Amino acid sequence: MTDKARVAVLGASGYAGAELLRLLAAHPLFEVAAVTASSQEGKAVGELYPSLAAAYPALVYGPAGTAVADGADVVFCALPHGASQKLVPELLGKVPHVIDLGADFRLRDAALYPAWYGEEHSCPGLLQESVFGLPELSRDGLAGARLVAVPGCYVTAAALALAPLVKAGAIEPHGVVVDATSGVSGAGAKVSSRYQFCTVDEDFAAYGLLTHRHTPEMEQAIGAQVIFTPHLAPMNRGILATCYARPVAGSEEPLEVLGKAYAGEPFVIVSEGSPSTKAALGSNVAHLTARRDARTGWAVSICALDNLVKGAAGQALQCANAVMGWAETTGLPLAGVAP
């Protein structure tokens, strides 16, 4: 067997970064060479995340920046918005491949960044080069890509549920409603009173009304005008996206469209059963169903997934496998955790 490819993870102290380390520990072709975390520099990974102590007994968080990337074959960026665009131009001069889990390179139109993120993009020339990292919908271009932008968890769920229906002409591409719910880990590991136990427990709330920054990314991935309302649920993990659209007269049943679109895709299950977040827990699998309601004239399409796996770290690793020319399933869990 050849030597493993070397990996560096920038921002490995957050939930997505830690989940990526968990998945990389079981990957047969990657080895973690270095990790960074500006707030945890010098601390052992196993001290911050005891769940990773056995897998990484000697791994220590290094300083923020690009120096640790020297000699790496792939660099994963699991950083807050705005941080990647400051580092990626330099990284692309050091390493063959960068996989960004943040939003810095997802949008094709640079003008959308000040409108939705409140600041100009610092390297807009790279937006056209980056490959949108949702393999089931945009696999072309991943093989050998220098820069991959992994979509957000809400966007992944909504796009998997809706993009094939838009492409097939089965639903109208305007006035689409995405009503989606996330577990608390979707907000990241930052300390905030909004996400403390006493705040989120026994509560269910909508937020980001009409202004959530993932809206333009969602519209780009789906190919339709969307009104998106996210909700926070008192659970650790999971995304459930319930999406509504007007079906096109005479079009194929939406469940059949999804079944054909994802036939042979190992990480997508399409069935008549109603998806649940727990079915996806710990796996890189998305569960979907769809219906057309003759009574009201609406179609509904639903997707459930684990926001930290298929919605973040697992999808990043799936993209990295494709970039390296390996089977996308390499090192990724197909089975969820139950009970």
DSSP 313: I
Phi/psi-derived region of residue 123, left when phi > 0, alpha when psi is between -120 and 50, beta in every other case: beta
Q: What is the CATH number of domain 5-151+310-324?
A: 3.40.50.720
Could you tell me the residue ranges of all domains in the chain?
A: 5-151+310-324, 153-307
DSSP 331: T
DSSP 44: B
Mean residue pLDDT of the chain comes to 95
- The span from the CA of 208 to the CA of 66, in Å, is 33
pLDDT of residue 2: 56
Q: What is the CATH number of domain 153-307?
A: 3.30.360.10
Which phi and psi (to 5°) does residue 303 adopt?
-135, 135
- Secondary structure class of 241 (helix, strand, coil): strand
Over the range 180-195, which residues count as b (16 or more CB within 10 Å of their CB) and which as e?
A: bbbbbbbbeeeeeeeb
- The span from the CA of 87 to the CA of 95, in Å, is 12
What single letter denotes the amino acid at residue 337?
V
Report cis status (omega within 30 of 0) of the bond before 234: no
Structure tokens at 148: 């991959």
- The span from the CA of 204 to the CA of 198, in Å, is 12
- The span from the CA of 188 to the CA of 78, in Å, is 11
Contact indicator for 155, 221 with CB cutoff of 8 Å? yes
Beta bridge partners of 240: 181, 304
- Secondary structure class of 223 (helix, strand, coil): coil
Enumerate the active-site residues.
153
| Residue from 126, 124, 129, 130 nearest 110 by CA | 124
pLDDT of residue 7: 98
E strand intervals along the chain: 5-10, 30-36, 61-62, 74-77, 97-100, 131-132, 147-149, 176-182, 205-206, 226-232, 239-245, 268-270, 286-293, 298-305
Structure tokens at 325: 């020319």
- The span from the CA of 74 to the CA of 96, in Å, is 7
User: End-to-end alpha-carbon separation of the chain, Å?
Assistant: 37
Q: Judging by DSSP bridges, how do beta strands 239-245 and 226-232 pair with one another?
A: unpaired
User: Do the domains at 5-151+310-324 and 153-307 have one common CATH topology?
Assistant: no
pLDDT per residue as tens, the chain (339 positions): 458 999 999 999 999 999 999 999 999 999 999 999 988 999 999 999 999 999 999 999 999 888 989 999 999 999 998 999 999 999 999 999 999 999 999 999 999 999 999 999 999 999 999 999 999 999 999 999 999 999 999 999 999 999 999 999 999 999 999 999 999 988 777 667 778 888 889 898 999 999 999 999 999 999 999 999 999 999 999 999 999 999 999 999 999 999 999 999 999 999 999 999 999 999 999 999 999 999 999 999 999 999 999 999 999 999 999 999 999 999 999 999 998
